[in-house]
């Protein structure tokens, strides 16, 4: 069997996974602050050519366009791009369906290539890193903002891992993109990093700790996919209990007002 059909099936599953939830609602609930953080760190301004990889519903693309940049928001999932078009209102930018591992853009075509909690979900990390380099002009900026392996989202993926379907050959865990060592291994001397800083996003959108679990079960594509697999294997209740324990362990607030902290890595570099 050739690798092409297998890869095509993998991409189709990824599209279906992200379309199954409502990631745009998650963005509006608690992720919104991160896009402007990345745009500011990249120094985006008028006239710059900007590519957002794994743009989702435009959390970084829209504020970049609001600064006067010529922005292309690219994502594998058409439903997320459509949600982004609705969110953008009168802000002008281009929305393009694209695979982060095989970007349909010319070499060295962008001044800034960025990804805000997006590129990390493509399974083959080296392929993505190579594409980010390829489409960025020499001397251009590559900006990344992704959850860390040690933070709460990294722990969430470890909690869900035993209940998930086996990953495809060669796939790597998404939170590795939040590891300084992993980024260095992916990019080597092709990028000179000027910023590699761990920060925390405080989450106070949930009243009770278990509201966090229900939010992810309802809206987050990866969690929905894991629950579907657990249900097929008669382990849905076990997963529910594991996530309940997770929520209480990571809650820094009270039972009446939950507070969580999501650690992320902000990495900004210049392409050689």
What's the pLDDT tens digit per position in 160-204?
999 999 988 889 999 999 999 999 999 999 999 999 999 999 999
Interatomic CA distance for residues 217 and 238, integer angstroms: 14
Task: Grade residue 11 by pLDDT with cuts at 50, 70 and 90.
Answer: confident
Task: Grade residue 7 by pLDDT with cuts at 50, 70 and 90.
Answer: confident
Structural domain boundaries of the chain? 3-202+262-271
Model confidence pLDDT, tens digit, residues 198-225: 999 999 999 999 999 999 999 999 999 9
Using DSSP, state whether 96 is helix, strand or coil: strand
Model confidence pLDDT, tens digit, residues 90-137: 999 999 999 999 999 999 999 999 999 999 999 999 999 999 999 999
Interatomic CA distance for residues 248 and 13, integer angstroms: 31
CATH number among 3.40.50.150, 1.10.3720.10, 3.40.50.920, 3.40.50.300, domain 3-202+262-271: 3.40.50.150
Looking at every residue in the chain, the average pLDDT score rounds to 95
Q: 56, 80 in Cβ contact below 8 A?
A: yes
Interatomic CA distance for residues 194 and 189, integer angstroms: 13
Q: Dihedral, CA atoms, 166, 169, 171, 173, nearest 10 degrees?
A: 40
Interatomic CA distance for residues 38 and 115, integer angstroms: 8
For position 9, what pLDDT does the model report? 83
Model confidence pLDDT, tens digit, residues 230-258: 999 999 999 999 999 999 999 999 999 99
Write the DSSP string, 136-199. Answer: EEEEEEEEEEEE-SSSHHHHHHHHHGGGSPPPPTT---GGGGG-HHHHHHHHGGGEEEEEEEEE
Interatomic CA distance for residues 129 and 110, integer angstroms: 15
pTM of this structure: 0.95
Model confidence pLDDT, tens digit, residues 136-150: 999 999 999 999 999
Phi, psi (5° rounding) for residue 234?
70, 30
HSE-up (13 A, CA, CB side) for residue 205: 19
């Amino acid at each position: 069997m050739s690798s092409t059909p297998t890869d095509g099936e993998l991409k189709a599953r990824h599209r279906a996974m992200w379309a199954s939830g409502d990631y745009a609602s998650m963005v509006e609930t608690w992720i919104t602050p991160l896009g402007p953080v990345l745009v500011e760190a990249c120094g985006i301004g008028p006239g710059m050519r900007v590519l957002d990889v794994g743009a989702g519903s435009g959390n970084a693309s829209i504020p970049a366009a609001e600064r006067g940049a010529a922005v292309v928001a690219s994502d594998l999932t058409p439903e997320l791009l459509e949600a982004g078009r609705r969110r953008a209102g009168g802000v002008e930018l281009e929305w393009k369906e694209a695979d982060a591992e095989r970007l349909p853009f010319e070499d060295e075509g962008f001044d800034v290539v960025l990804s805000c909690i997006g590129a990390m979900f493509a399974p083959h990390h080296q392929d993505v890193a190579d594409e980010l380099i390829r489409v960025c002009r020499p001397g251009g900026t590559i900006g990344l903002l992704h959850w860390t392996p040690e933070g709460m989202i990294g722990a969430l993926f470890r909690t869900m891992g035993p209940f998930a379907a086996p990953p495809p050959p060669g796939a790597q865990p998404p939170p590795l993109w939040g590891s300084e060592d992993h980024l260095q291994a992916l990019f080597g001397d092709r990028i000179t990093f000027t910023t590699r800083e761990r920060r925390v996003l405080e989450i106070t959108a949930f009243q009770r700790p278990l509201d966090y679990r229900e939010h992810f079960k309802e809206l987050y594509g990866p969690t929905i996919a894991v629950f579907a697999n657990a249900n097929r294997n008669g382990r849905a209740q076990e997963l529910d209990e594991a996530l309940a324990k997770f929520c209480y362990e990571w809650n820094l607030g009270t039972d009446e007002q939950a507070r969580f902290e999501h650690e992320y890595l902000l990495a900004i570099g210049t392409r050689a």
